[in-house]
Amino acid sequence: MVAARRKEMRAKFVIVSGSASQKLAMATAQRLGAEIGQCSVTRFPDTEVNVQLNEPVRERRVFIVQSSCPPVDQHIMEVLAIADACRRAAASSITWIAPYFGYARSDKRRGGRTPIMGRLVADFAERAGIDHLIALDLHSQQVEGFFHIPVENLSAVPAIADALKSHLEPESVIVSPDTGRVKMASAYASRMGCPVAVLHKERLNGRKTAVSRIVGEVRARPCVIIDDMISTGGTINNAVEALIRVGAAGNFIVAASHGVFTPEARKNLNHPAIRKIIVTDSIPVSSDDWPQVKIVSLAPILAGAIRRSIGGESMTDP
């Protein structure tokens, strides 16, 4: 029975992944009672990407699960190569499931003579044959507009909010570390019955930010700082410092959809006032030697999205 179901599933669709998201792709496939597709991604001696699909994809729907996390360009190139291989092998459709979509912060020009990399990645993806994108908590909604293909921007907020509940203290405030995250903070707040406070963040350069103002009541209250991503951890570190300066209770929870965690992040987040950091597995993170970190798996969300996609169902209806 199980074998027959697996065979039927295999005929309909296949989930493949590059080197960025193998564990998550496998967990997603498992939830669907499917096996991961046979696709090898290696490098030629000169580091060029070498993709080989080791099973037919003709007339099958392919779901490429791959975050474009660091090393970003390398992972993007893998997605493009896999998509191109699938298109040339007559897949019936190619969906890129990007649990984390890199370059999303490059969604407008920073000034004269600068590129819009998010747009460029969208162009490349379509050119490679990707005809559907499923992403999670894209940095900004305008990234959807970079694509001409259907884009589903799913959210990890409900899953993270569930994980947060057991750590929440009475009187907690959800804090948005900048004005760009107010909508996300409100989504958390309405799920958790908490008020919202907003910090005004100024970016001094790619690595440094500063908080200039705080809107909302935080004095003597426990704070949950939310964000879409933690990269260097500078934003969170500044937020914690600013909140302490105005008298917030000194034990913070940090929750973000994407733990990018550049090498300096650990130092920035190793603040004595931060007691918990909750992120998803959109980017592989090892929490073994980092007890503050709790990881929420996206596998149920991705499996649900694939199920709905195959069944022709809405992604947004309950």
Which of 17, 28, 231, 309 lies at the binding interface for ligand R5P (CB under 6 A)? 231
**Contact at 8 Å (CB) between 26 and 48?**
no
Please tell me whether residue 177 binds ligand R5P under the rule CB under 6 A.
yes
Rounded Cα gap, residues 277 and 275, in angstroms = 7
SS3 state at 91: coil
Subset of residues 202 to 221 that bind ligand R5P, contact rule: CB under 6 A: 209
* Contact range with ligand R5P by CB under 6 A, out of 141-149, 224-232, 247-255, 296-304: 224-232
Q: Which of 12, 23, 201, 208 is catalytic?
A: 201
- Please state, in angstroms and rounded to a whole number, the distance separating the CA atoms of residues 316 and 152: 9
* Under 8 Å between Cβ of 155 and 187: yes
Can you read off the two tokens belonging to residue 31? 């939830």
Nearer to ligand R5P, 207 or 219 (CB): 207
Cα–Cα distance for residue pair 29/252, rounded to 1 Å: 35
The piece of 25-33, 42-50, 118-126, 228-236 that touches ligand R5P (CB under 6 A) is 228-236
In the sheet that holds 13-17, the strands lie side by side as: 13-17, 61-65, 93-98, 132-136, 151-154
Judged by DSSP in three states, 176 sits in strand
* Measured distance CA(213)–CA(306) in Å, rounded: 42
Nearer to ligand R5P, 80 or 295 (CB): 295
Identified binder of ligand R5P from the candidate list 78, 131, 137, 228, rule CB under 6 A: 228
201 is known as an active-site residue: yes
**Among positions 64, 125, 156, 229, the unique one binding ligand R5P when judged by CB under 6 A:** 229
Can you tell me whether residue 230 is helix, strand or coil? strand
Please, which residue, 121 or 229, has the CB nearer to ligand R5P? 229
Using the rule CB under 6 A, is 18 a contact of ligand R5P?
no
Of the pair 49, 254, the CB lying nearest ligand R5P is at 254
In the complex, which residues of this chain contact ligand R5P (CB under 6 A)?
A: 105, 177-178, 180-181, 209, 227-235
